[in-house]
Structure 1
Amino acid sequence: MRWSTVALLVAPAQAALRFGCSTLSIQRLDPVVEPGNAPSAHIHQIVGGDAFNATMNGDIGEQGACTTCTFTEDFSNYWTAVMYFKHTNGSYKRVPIMQNAALPNGINGGMTIYYTQKDFNSNGNQKIKSFPPGFRMTVGSPGTDSLDKAKGHVGLRYVCLTDKNTRFPELPDFPAKQCKGGIMTVHHFPSCWDGKNLDSPDHQAHMYSTTKEAFAEAGPCPASHPVRMPQVAYETLWDTTQFNNMWPSTGQPFVLSFGDAKGYGTHADYMFGWKGDSLQRAMDSSCMFNACEGGKPLKSQAVAAMNKCAAKKIVQENIDGWVSKLPGQ
C-alpha cells in the first residue's frame, strides 16, 4: 500500500506494521463462524499460527509451536474465502495466491497483513490498545447478494492488477475483464471496540467500523465503541493470469468458494494470537514496516522458517486439481 512521507513527520509517532504470512493451510475449517465443524461449509485460505483447528479457545498466543508470519510472536490466524476459476465445461480449479511486491522474495503464497493507526497514509497520534487474548472478529458476509449491499461494505474491495504495485481503482465486485497482473482482494476490519466483549453472536457487533474508502483517514470512534484498536487489513493477491487463455466469450469466470460469482460476499476472519504484550509494545513504538523487525521491537524470522510452518490437515479432500463442484457446495 502507498505510504506518504508526511507520515514520518507526525508526532508522537506510533507503529505501523506491514508484514507477510506464508500459507499455513487451505481447508474447510472456520473456528470463528463454525466452531467444531470439520469440515466447515466452504474452503478458506489460512495464514498464521499452527494451532489453527476446528475449535480454538483461550489464549491462542500460548498454543502454537510456529507461525507462517514474519513476526515470531504472532500466532494469530487470518483467513478468507478461496477464489476459484470456473471453466466453460463446468469444472472448477482453485486460484493460487502470490506474494505482494513489497514483501521479501520466496514467501509461499500468503497474505500481506497490516496493523496501522488510523489509515494508510499517516502513522497516527493516538493511543492504540492491543486486542486482548481470546479476541476474534469477522468482516463482510457471504450472504451479501447485491451490488448496493457490497458497496456498503466499505473497505472490502477488489483491484484489477496491472502489476503487483497497482492499488486503484477499488471495485466492490469482481473485475469484468482480464487483469494483466491478477486480482487483489482487500479486507479492512473495524477498529473501534466496545471495550467489553471478545466476540459477539454475529462476530461483528462488538466492533464498529469508521473506515472510509481507499486511503482516506478513518473517522473517530463512537461512544458505544470507544476503544481505538489497530486497523487490521489483509491484502491477498490471486494469480488469475494462468487462466487468461481459458477466458469465456461472455461474463467473468471467477467464483468465491461458497458459490458467489459476483464477489459481493467477500469476507474475512481474524483471531488474535500475539504472544504476551508484543503487539502492545509494537503499537507503542515508533517503528514502521520492516523497521519493526529484528527485535526493534518485534522478533522476526526468515522466509524459510515461515514457509516451513504448517497446520495439521483435518479435512481430506482434493483442493488442487479440477473438481466438478466447489468443496462443500
Structure 2
Amino acid sequence: MTGSERASPTISVALGTHNGAVFLTEQLESILAQSRPVDEIVISDDASTDGTLELAKRVIAARGAGGPAPALVALSNPTALGVTANFERALRAASGDLVVLCDQDDIWHVDRIAIAVEHFLERPELDLVHADARLVDGDGAPLGSTLFETLYVSDAELAAERDGRAFEVLMRRNVVTGATTMLTARLVARAQPFPDSWVHDEWLAMIAAIGGGVVAVERPLIDYRQHGGNQIGAESLGIAGKLGRLRTPRTARNARLLARAEDLAQRMRTIQPRPSDERLAAVSEKLAHEQVRHAYPAARLRRIPPVLREVRTGRYRRFGLGVQDVVRDLVQPV
C-alpha cells in the first residue's frame, strides 16, 4: 500500500450471492455493525431466483435512511457463472485499497475488519490476511470446533506464515478459506484472470504467497455457517472418511492437480513483479511431480516402482501430504 493507503485504507466488500435470501440479512447486518466501517459493498449475484439482490438493496437502503451507509454496487448475472467467476466479477468491480471476501451465509464478528486492517498497517508488504472461524450450524449455534481445527492447520504451518514462508505451506496444501480473507487491490490486479482449474480463494492465496505474503489471524473473526447447502464448506474427515478416499477413483483428482500445476507454471512466466528463481524452480518441480503422478499405470502393482522413485525425490513431502499421498497413489482405483 502507498503512504496514504496505510494511513486510512478504503475497504470494499466483495460479496458473492446465489439464492442466499435465507441468511443474507444477518450477514449484511454484521457487516454494517463493524467497529471499523466498510466503504463499499459489491454484490455479484449469480442468477438468483429468490430475490437475493432485491433483499440486499433493501437492507442497505434501510441503513442509509438512519445515517451513513457504505456505497452499494449491485451486479446481476442473468446466467450463473459459478462460484469462482462470480467472485472474480465482484473483485473486478471493487474500488477499495483493501478488499474483503464475503459469503452470503456467514456472520462477521464486530472487529473482523479492524483486526485484519491492523495487520496490513503493521506489515504493508502483505497481500492477504486470513483468519480462523467459529463453525456454526444453520441456526447459528456453535458446533464446538473452529475452521483451523477442522482443516488440521498445524502450529508449524501457522509459524511458517508468520515467518514469511506461506509459499512453502501452500505448495503442499491450501489452508486459506475465502470467507475469512482480506486482500490488497494490487493482488486482485495481479491474480487476474483466474484460471478455471483453481478455486478463487486458493488462487488468490497462492499469488499472494508468491508476492507480498500471507499471514493468519489465529483466532476466529467470523461465524462460518455449515447448513448443508454451502457451495464450499468445511469438511472434517474421520477415519472412515479417510479410508473412503482410498476407494475413490484417482483419475479426475490427479487430472485436476495437474491442470492446476500447469496453470500456475504458465502464470509464473508472466506475473509481475517477477518471482524469485527459487520460487520459479519450486513451481517447475511441483509441475513435474504432478506429471509423474498423473502418468502412473492403472494396475496397482505396476505403480509401485514409479511411486518409490518419486518418493526418493522428496517431492511428495515438499508438494503434498507426504505418506498420505503415497498411500493414495498406491491404493486408489482408476
| TM-score, normalised by the number of residues in structure 1 | 0.25
More strand by share: 1
User: Which structure carries more relative contact order (alpha carbon 8 Å, separation 6+)?
Assistant: 1
Higher radius of gyration, 1 or 2: 2
